[in-house]
Amino acid sequence: MPKARSFLEGFQFLRGNIRILTITQSLGMFCRSMVFPYASLYILALGGDPARIGFVNSVGPLAGLIIFPIAGCLTDRTGRVKIIAFAGYFSAAVTLLYVLAPSWEIIAVAGLLQGFMAFQFPPLSALMADSLSPESRGRGIATMNTISSALAIVAPYVAGALLDAYGVELGMRVLYGVMAVANLISATVNHRFLKETSSGRAETFSLSDLPGVFKSAYGDLPTTLRQLPRALRALTVVLALGFMANAVASPYWVVFGADHIGLSSSEWGLILLIETTLRSLAYIPAGMIVDRHGRTKWILASLCLSLVSVPLFVLATSFTQVLLIRAAVAVVTAFFIPACSALMADIVPRDIRGRVMSAIGRGTVMIGAASGGTGGPGMGFLITIPVMVASSLGGYLYTFDPTYPWIFVAVTTAISILVTALFVRDPREAEI
């Protein structure tokens, strides 16, 4: 009994804001896990081609150049909760464009507008960091990911079966409609139940403040970067390379699987189901290990395993081989996400988390993302332009030679390993 009580006490963080965010993120994860893995097929069904897929994925981050500085400023000056809720309502409205889109061009417009939802990421990142103590951050982030991923385990398979039965175009319209309703529900729950954690008094903000916000965000950026610890600057490079790798390859996992390996939508969904199950089972143990033994060593180990496994996808010829590769990706991600997120929270002081995370992100990026996106919501405005370029590049690389996106992933991963080994270190004392 004492051991059981001690184990349960280790999860006392799962209350208040963390509980609410776990609920709403679980709902969002379920819908995203149905829609995102097949988004590239939807673009093709509406008249697009691989190059158009790259273009559509490149326009979404454009809004971040405008939104992230404003969101970071408002996060530290006016609080977190209202921004998170507003972004959810906006996302629900924009998702309807995907439902009604007559062509891939409208998907591109919707992607651009959806990029403005990035407004919520700096306050969401700050709220999560504020609501978790330093000693429980790795475990807390891992637990949230475990719960949300567990509920989404069957989503890719259900969506794949739906597309096989009703066709890509009609099936995707239905799935986007479900996502719109889910976004509306999540926004309402967040607005109603989340509690503010901002330490300062709320300040007014008007359009006349915008020039100063952009000057502060972009004009002072070199000074801000110089003031950051070397480990944080190095981690930013690793995260940027991870987002770029996903931007190049992520939209084409399902396309390559269908065109060159012969996987059906339901087979791809089954692979993602098994991957998600394995990742969910590994998240909490991985988070505990990260909290106990440090962040950096597990970041490095994850990158090394990904370098061995992810590029092998272009050599796969069967369902089983692809499944083994994605299983390795699941284990890698289970360690990499809590380690990076916890290290980011450990390094960045509470009173500037909104601004710093709006610039460099929340420290979260999936390795080997196969959902069609960049592999996480945590991308700051500093990483936006590289990701836009990488997204466009991915379409042309795939058109020229379908194996080139994964060669790009291998090169960026090797660079990340070198940067991590040389410069990324855990802080001596974590920020609260």
Residue 38 lies in a domain: yes
Residue 55 lies in a domain: yes
Residue 202 lies in a domain: no
> By residue range, what is the domain housing residue 385?
12-192+220-423
Residue 206 lies in a domain: no
The domain that holds 316 is classified in CATH as 1.20.1250.20
Distance CA 290, CA 227 (A): 27
Distance CA 364, CA 31 (A): 19
Distance CA 299, CA 232 (A): 13
Predicted model pTM: 0.77
Q: Map residue 346 onto helix, strand or coil.
A: helix
Distance CA 109, CA 317 (A): 36
Q: Which amino acid is at 129?
A: A
Q: How many domains does the chain have?
A: 1
Going residue by residue through the chain, which has 432 residues, state the pLDDT in tens, using 9 for 90 and above.
Answer: 454 454 444 455 567 788 888 889 899 989 998 999 999 999 999 999 999 999 998 887 777 677 766 766 666 666 678 888 888 899 999 999 999 999 999 999 999 898 887 777 777 777 877 777 777 777 777 788 778 877 788 999 999 999 999 999 999 999 999 999 999 999 999 888 888 766 555 555 565 666 776 676 666 667 766 777 888 889 999 999 999 999 999 999 999 999 999 999 999 999 999 998 898 889 889 988 998 888 999 999 999 999 999 999 999 999 999 999 999 999 999 999 989 888 988 888 766 776 677 778 777 788 999 876 665 556 777 888 888 899 999 999 999 999 999 999 999 999 999 999 999 998 877 676
pLDDT per residue over 281-303, tens digit each? 898 899 889 988 889 999 999 99
Residue 431 lies in a domain: no
Q: Provide the 8-state DSSP code for 257.
A: I
Residue 212 lies in a domain: no
Evaluate whether 313 touches 256 at the Cβ level (below 8 Å). yes
Distance CA 60, CA 164 (A): 28
Q: Which two tokens stand for residue 138?
A: 């790795």
Residue 3 lies in a domain: no
Residue 130 lies in a domain: yes
Specify the pLDDT at position 7. 42
